[in-house]
Amino acid sequence: MPGIVLTRMTAMVHADHYDMSAEEWATVVYLMLFRFCEYGSEREQLIEALKPLYFARSLSFDYKTWRYSIRYAEEEIRQQMRTFHWLRPWLYGLFCQRTRSRAARG
């Protein structure tokens, strides 16, 4: 996990206050997806690790939207979708880097 995201996740747990942005959530999901494909033997552990992060993101979304209209919440979901779309090249880059690394090793 990128250092800044790991640092923020650790701080959230220690403070017992969850504020995970859409960017952090997308980064975590994409990195977990990459690792899931890369390390077949660790799949169960990755799924278990993702569960509390999912709840942290869910709480963050609830904290941000609970006072507002459904329309506002839907716009937040759309923004999260755009964030996932925007970060897709980063995920693609991870897979390309892995492929190049394997090709270089022979």
The pLDDT assigned to 2 comes to 61
Reply yes or no on whether the pLDDT at 32 is more than 70: yes
The pLDDT assigned to 37 comes to 87
Structure tokens of 11?
A: 């701080």
Residue numbers of the domain that contains 11: 3-105
Segment 32-42 mean pLDDT: 86
Helices (H), 1-106: 3-15, 22-38, 43-65, 70-105
pTM of the model: 0.80
Q: What end-to-end distance do the CA atoms of the chain give, in Å?
A: 27
The pLDDT assigned to 11 comes to 75
User: How open is the CA angle 30-20-54, to the nearest 5 degrees?
Assistant: 60
The count of domains in the chain is 1
